[in-house]
Structure 1
């Protein structure tokens, strides 16, 4: 039984979540908190498996609350958002940086089949987050020693473009990876990050503050430039055209995702062949795995984040199980590997 502690300042939103959780026999809601202080106190007292909370409301600052929980009673945290304002986006990104695991769109009323599927996906994600082992944050900069690769990897190829996919745990992983790359990193980088709608612009702005590369939301048909990170916009697939310009597509979702990592990997492989390095980072599910086969068939190189440094070892594990990976590396070893390949 997954024990959930809920904090939602919206009466309607709270009712929707309570109805959703009560319909799942594997979930028990052990408490409801009305403000940030109560949520921290109840988390320490009840020790839930996961905290589900909105980001901003009366007496609720999701960033400060997340920081306190991760210091005083480390617990997996899922942020719920609907129609995010600029302030909510900012607080959510800060909460992710402080230790929250993911931001999910508020589940809708179960009217249509598609909406029922969204609710099922929401519940499945919350249950998966309950299994994540979180660590205490001490309120200071992380000084943990960097993990090292278990073996030296020296592929005999030159990468001209990098494609990265991430889901749950991705914002923090991308901060680490991109933050290690120097300003003069010569290859353009294309990124698909699964995140709630309305958050990509804020996420991109935040990444610009934590790494030395230029980070932007990708625009259709712009020419790729070195030292630049292109992030897939909301509700569009991201890819690469043979003339080295950005492809944005409204094609149907792949595996339930748009943007899709599979679309990204397949597209860059078709456009750049051996010159591609594809990286699959922490995340639930298997998005991207089918696209990696195109990368390897065309001579590209594939890196998967290892289990020890993944928040959720889903996407990397699926890629490894499908035998579509050339190197399995701890997160801090991926950037040095890239520097050896460009």
Structure 2
């Protein structure tokens, strides 16, 4: 049952694309298209007047483009922004990261006309993204996250539970699973970790092919830790963030060294968060803390369950709107989530684990 429709403003300068997107949005009972604009200047006025839950904008427009619009919105009246463009595909990595740095939460390729089946698929994907983004908290003031970290000892995330504190004191590795929509969240989490963070961090991310090297380079400039793609035969070391390679699952062998495993033809995700989580659970047992961020699909849920059953600490991203979607919803249905935390709470929690 739909309890509330998500208010959306659409900023698009192409009449054809505007018509297609309007049809997609208006065909859903979950969305209320409250305004449209032809460029960023007009978009700012419409956004101010309608106060939407989500802004969908094109990238390249006259007068004010989507990048400047994103910067202005995040500075003046922050809210979730989805960039819908022909220039956010696999070959447009630089555009994507510039938009994410400006505050956009996700990108979506501009739809084209096609068969009714294709139309329905695009509509469902777009509406799902809007629903998830509408539930996400955005903040123009990064100092709030820093303040949350500084007050983490008084908040005592772990101190209220001696059993969890004892487990935290033995944690040897942090694992993170995420989708493309969580790139900004990963950046926020890693940026707040100090250079002397004493645990390795191992990540699996769903990302467009060919984009991972650019992501790693971006994060290197954004955080204090070393960031790299995990190398075959390498042993995880502290103060380093490792990412699974694009075309293989990332696992650990019996000696605790990285190994690559090719996906089978029946596997939907490669690299797979669940495959990585299960491998780390097998090697580290209770000495692991895992974070599953919001994203589409179900990958990561069974892996988080394996870590919980092994005695490790499991964390999932909680959205402000109260709804659970995709990977986090699946993990929660398996009773795999021990701690449901908002974005601003995850980094303080990880720091508390280290200090324990």
Q: TM-score, normalised by structure 2?
A: 0.76
In structure 1, runs of 5+ residues without a counterpart are: none
Distance change in 2, residues 1:4/1:218 (3 Å): same
Q: Distance in 1 between matches of 2:191 and 2:127?
A: 33
Counterpart of 1:53 in structure 2 is 57
Q: Does 1:17 align with 2:21?
A: yes
Which structure's residues are more often helix, by fraction? 2
| Cα distance in 2 for residues equivalent to 1:54 and 1:198 | 23
Whether the 8 Å contact between 2:305 and 2:331 is mirrored in structure 1 is no
Question: Which residue number corresponds to residue 270 of structure 1?
Answer: 282
The 5-angstrom pairing of residues 50-199 of structure 1 reads: 50-82=54-86, 84=88, 89-107=93-111, 109-111=113-115, 116-135=120-139, 137=140, 142=144, 145-146=147-148, 148-152=155-159, 153-156=164-167, 158-167=170-179, 170-195=182-207, 199=211
Distance 1:276 1:316 in 2: 18
Residue 150 of structure 1: how far off its partner (Å): 3.9
User: Helix, strand or coil: the match of 1:75?
Assistant: coil
Deviations 1:54-99, CA, capped at 9 Å, x for gaps: 3334444433211211233333211224454799534433433443
Equivalent residue number for residue 249 of structure 1: 262
CA pair 206-79 structure 1, distance change in 2 beyond 3 A? same
1:141 deviation in Å?
5.1
Residue in structure 2 matched with residue 301 of structure 1 by the alignment: 313
1:335 to 1:274, Cα distance in 2 relative to 1, 3 A: closer
Higher mean C-alpha deviation, range 61-70 or range 98-107: 98-107
| CA–CA separation in structure 1 for the residues paired with 2:198 and 2:264 | 30
CA distance in 2 between counterparts of 1:291 and 1:34 reads 45
CA separation of 1:214 and 1:122: change in aligned 2, threshold 3 A = same
Alignment partner of 2:243 out of 231, 236, 245 = 231
Gaps of 5+ in 2: none
Give the CA RMSD over aligned residues. Answer: 3.7
Give the secondary structure class of the aligned counterpart of 2:23. helix
Q: 1:187 to 1:72 in 2, by over 3 A?
A: closer
Q: 1:232 to 1:74 in 2, by over 3 A?
A: same
- CA drift of 1:316 comes to 4.5
Mapped partners of 1:60, 1:197: distance in 2 = 30
CA contact (8 A) 2:85 2:109 kept: yes
* Kept in 2: contact 1:173–1:331 (CA 8 A): no
Residue 33 of structure 2: SS of its match in structure 1?
Answer: strand
Range with greater deviation from structure 2 (78-87 or 261-270): 78-87
Contact 2:105 2:184 in 1 (8 A): no
Does structure 2 conserve the Cα–Cα contact (< 8 Å) formed by 1:238 and 1:263?
Answer: yes
Question: What are the superposed Cα offsets for residues 106-156 of structure 1, whole Å, 9 maximum, x if unpaired?
Answer: 445443857743441222221332344544x26x75576215344414134
- The DSSP-based 3-state class of the residue aligned with 1:331 is helix
Match of 1:206 among 195, 218, 221: 218
Instruction: Summarize the alignment of residues 309-320 of structure 1 with structure 2, pairs less than 5 Å apart.
Output: 313-314=324-325, 315-316=327-328, 318-320=330-332
Alpha-carbon distance in 2 for matches of 1:237, 1:10: 40
2-structure distance, mates of 1:200, 1:73: 31
- CA shift, 1:52, in A, is 0.8
Do 1:62 and 1:92's aligned partners in 2 also have CA atoms closer than 8 Å?
no
State how far apart, in whole Å, the 2-side matches of 1:43 and 1:300 are. 44
Equivalences, count: 336
CA separation in 2, counterparts of 1:69 and 1:190?
Answer: 33
